[in-house]
Every structure is written in structure tokens, then in C-alpha cells.
Amino acid sequence: MLHSDRQNMYTSTPNSTAGCVQLLGEKRLLVKIVSAKDIGGKTGCVAPYCVVEMDEPPQKNQTGFKKDTTSPQWEEHFLFD
């Protein structure tokens, strides 16, 4: 193996950013809440929900309530600045 081949062996190509418009220094985080499984123990949950918080800058989002289930499905997205 040549020295140049060894250097390229551990490199990766970043995901495409084509079509993304972002100002320099401006970043956002997209969080997707999918589901939970077997929550609430034997008694279950009356209305489970999920809370997502970010410290800096302080932000908080909450999913909707799902009634009478131990395995809720949310499929909700939250965008943090």
C-alpha cells in the first residue's frame, strides 16, 4: 500500500449541503421524537408525552399527549435555534 493510499483510507465525505442556505455562524438543530416503548411499568401511563430542552439558549418543546398507551408514537419534529 502506498503512503498516499493509507492517508485516504480513513477519510469520509460529508453529507451534501446542496440547497441549504445558512448564514455564517447561524446554526439550528432539528430534533425528531419518534416513539417510546414499554413506559409506565405494569400500570402504564394515562397520557405520556416527551419534553426536549436545550440549555444554551434556553428552549423547551413538548410533544402532544398520547392517551392510554405504554408505547406512544409521536413522529414530531422540533427546531431549536
Distance between CA 33 and CA 51 in Å, rounded? 9
Q: What is the pLDDT of residue 41?
A: 81
pTM of the predicted structure, to 2 decimals: 0.63
Banded pLDDT at 74 (limits 50, 70, 90): very high
Distance between CA 79 and CA 26 in Å, rounded? 13
Q: Dihedral of CA 17/23/25/27: which sign?
A: negative
Q: What is the pLDDT of residues 13-49, one digit of tens each?
A: 344 445 555 556 688 999 999 999 999 887 778 899 9
**Look-up: residue for cell 416513539?**
35
**Residue 61: which of 44, 48, 79 has the closest Cα?**
79
Residue 72 sits at the vertex; the CA angle it makes with 76 and 53, to the nearest 5 degrees, is 50
Q: What is the pLDDT of residues 46-59, one digit of tens each?
A: 899 999 999 989 99
Banded pLDDT at 6 (limits 50, 70, 90): very low
Banded pLDDT at 75 (limits 50, 70, 90): very high
